[in-house]
Amino acid sequence: MSANILLTRIDNRLVHGQVGVTWTKSIGANLILVANDEAASNPLQQKLMSTTADSSGAGIRFFSLEKTIKIINRAADRQKIFIVVKTPEDARKLVEGGVPIREINVGNMHFSQGKKEVTKKVYVDENDIKSLLFLSNSGIDVYIEDYPGDKKFPVNENLFK
């Protein structure tokens, strides 16, 4: 029996208004799982994200990537899980660790030195591209979509040409 993971989102802001409310409600999640080593050990970050989650009516948990991999398959059937990670590398680590992810939404990946624009909100470097293509080539539905119902850009080799 595998965990009921509705969607995984890559967003370098993790949980904020748009993710906490719009995406959570749109997919019908009742648990937001923030899989991020830093957030898992940062009470202030957790407090801010919990406030956002409260307004969506969903529960929220903060786990390191390793803890997520270890316990995800112990999730109860009633838990409709929305996983949020910070980077494509984090998503890849979860998949390589056996987390049953079927769909990945690429949200915000801000510009930084050495990154190129894919869409107005998604900037990637070689490492990001490798991880995104690894995920896409693993049979996972990976796409860029800013908010529910927005134009979807499937992630594949053509996207980065």
Residues 100-124: pLDDT tens digits? 999 999 999 999 999 999 999 999 9
The single residue listed with the structure tokens 């993790």 is 14
- Looking at the structure of the chain, the number of domains it has is 1
The reported pLDDT for the residue numbered 53 is 87
The CATH number covering residue 50 comes to 3.40.35.10
* Range 59-67 average pLDDT: 97
Domain ranges, residue 63: 5-160
Q: How many residues does the chain have?
A: 161
CB 15 within 8 A of CB 84: yes
Using pLDDT thresholds of 50, 70 and 90, give the confidence band for residue 148.
Answer: very high
Residue 156 CB neighbours (<10 A): 14
Residue 126 has pLDDT above 90, yes or no: yes
In the structure, what pLDDT confidence band is assigned to residue 17 with cuts at 50, 70 and 90? confident
Instruction: Check residue 91 and give its pLDDT.
Output: 98
Q: Which residues are catalytic?
A: 16
* Confidence grade of residue 55 (pLDDT, cut at 50, 70, 90): confident
pLDDT band at 1 (very low <50, low <70, confident <90, very high): low
Residue 21: C-alpha distances to residues 10, 47, 57, 70, 123 (Å): 16, 16, 8, 27, 24
pLDDT at 18 > cutoff 80: no
Backbone angles phi, psi at 111, to 5 degrees: -70, 140
> Residue 49 has which token pair?
């994200």
